[in-house]
Structure 1
Amino acid sequence: MAAKLMSTDQIKGKLLQGAFTNNAPLVGRLSDPIVDTPMVLTLDQLRPYDHNPRLNRNPRYDDLRASIQSRGLDAPPPVTRREGEEHFIIRNGGNTRLAILNELWRETGEERFFRIHCLFRPWPSRGEIVALTGHLAESDLHGELTFIERALGVERAREFYQLEADTQISQRELARLLKQDGYPIS
């Protein structure tokens, strides 16, 4: 069967027709990756971890600031995002670096302080415990938590463990769980 040829007017009519329409629902945002994924995020998209055990300024703040200002960010913070949350948060250690980047961005307006490379790690099923023990370990190793900061962080971890287990946790069990999650204490 021979194909019917279109006239010039028919071709013009087809070309001038409206664009294809997409009746699919709009997606507010893409879902987060399900594996560790490098990302470039802006400071607008990042927030510090809200249960950060550090209450006082990091004693190494000025040294870290000078380093970031001259060299840039050598060790980008790992990030994650709770399900349903809009912003990414620091996963374990890096709240001081985030504060410094925000300060340098406000002072200089330099793009290198605003857009940073991060490693996104999916929010785990035990997210709050993993994040808090990660912050305790990182802060204690790299920035010397005070005794009270450490004690308050461990107490908050106890609360998270008790919520998870739906029972009271003894000091011995707390020490075992913290060690199991990467933050050994005596």
Structure 2
Amino acid sequence: MSKPSVTPDQITAKLNQPGPALRSQPTDRLPAPTREQAMSLTLDQLRPYDRNPRTHHNPKYEEIKDSIRAVGLKQKLTVTQRPGDDRYMISDGGNTRLMILNELYQETDDKQFYHQDCHFIPWQGEINVLAGHLAENDNRGQLSWIERARGIYEAKRMIEEDAGETISQRELTKRLRALGYTISQSNISKMLYSIEHFLPTLPLT
């Protein structure tokens, strides 16, 4: 006995039937990668580092802006992503460059500023990002003494919070070096003294 033939209408009806019910929760974004890699991101997907030690305007801002306007961004932005965040955050310096890219895109509407090739590194912790920004800014000589001092003070607070105990200046020097930020213990001593004794008097001065 031959099998009954299937009509085109029956095939169409089968194709139009709903699929199996979704048992997992839908998601509107993919999780962050788990390894270092190159990523192509837009300005809408990027945010500055909100705990940047720099609090004053970069004195080379216009010089950097002129360079990026003329030849684009020579050094890729390094980014990471906090757990639960919906955007990628600047890591290891780059807040000034990101601000300039946003300005240039608003001024020119040129897509070369909107789309950026970035270097992604997986999230390692708040202290790692802070140490990266301190090291990058130190290499460029762009932080004032008090900005560096405030960064060191915040790094000490973060490390002690994670460790659950107070650490010595010698131990702080050692841990910062392990995070890629080298600074002498004598400078750390002077910086912490500046924050504890001089900073409170600066507004009055």
Q: Tell me the TM-score normalized by structure 2.
A: 0.83
Whether 2:149 is the aligned partner of 1:151: answer yes
Q: What residue in structure 1 maps to residue 5 of structure 2?
A: 6
- Report SS of the residue matched to 1:66: helix
CA distance in 1, matches of 2:91, 2:32: 15
RMSD across aligned C-alpha pairs, in angstroms?
1.6
Instruction: Count residues in correspondence.
Output: 181
CA distance in 1, matches of 2:21, 2:80: 32
Tell me the percent identity.
Answer: 43
Deviations 1:139-179 (A, max 9, x none): 11124210011000000100111011111122121111112
Contact 1:91/1:135, CA 8 A, preserved across alignment:
yes
Note the residue ranges of structure 1 that are not aligned, 5 or more in a row.
none
Deviations 1:114-141 (A, max 9, x none): 11111111101xx111100000000111
| Shift, 1:5, TM fit | 4.4
CA distance in 2, matches of 1:100, 1:131: 21
- 1:73-152 aligned at under 5 Å gives the runs 73-124=73-124, 127-152=125-150
Contact 1:58/1:143, CA 8 A, preserved across alignment:
no
CA distance in 1, matches of 2:9, 2:141: 70
Identify if the C-alpha distance between structure 1 residues 59 and 172 changes in structure 2 by more than 3 Å, giving closer, same or farther.
same
Q: Tell me the TM-score normalized by structure 1.
A: 0.90
Residue identity in the other structure for 1:11: P
| Shift, 1:20, TM fit | 4.6
Q: What residue in structure 2 maps to residue 30 of structure 1?
A: 30
Kindly report structure 1 stretches of 4+ aligned residues shifted beyond 3 Å.
none
Q: What residue in structure 1 maps to residue 197 of structure 2?
A: none
Contact 1:36/1:122, CA 8 A, preserved across alignment:
yes
- Report SS of the residue matched to 1:161: helix
CA distance in 2, matches of 1:56, 1:27: 39
CA distance in 2, matches of 1:38, 1:3: 59
- Higher RCO (CA-CA < 8 Å; seq separation 6+): 1
CA distance in 1, matches of 2:138, 2:33: 29
Deviations 1:76-113 (A, max 9, x none): 21111011111110011111100100111111111111
- Report SS of the residue matched to 1:40: strand
| Shift, 1:22, TM fit | 4.8
Deviations 1:25-66 (A, max 9, x none): 422221111111211111111111111111111222122111
Whether 2:19 is the aligned partner of 1:21: answer yes
| Shift, 1:70, TM fit | 0.7
Note the residue ranges of structure 2 that are not aligned, 5 or more in a row.
185-205
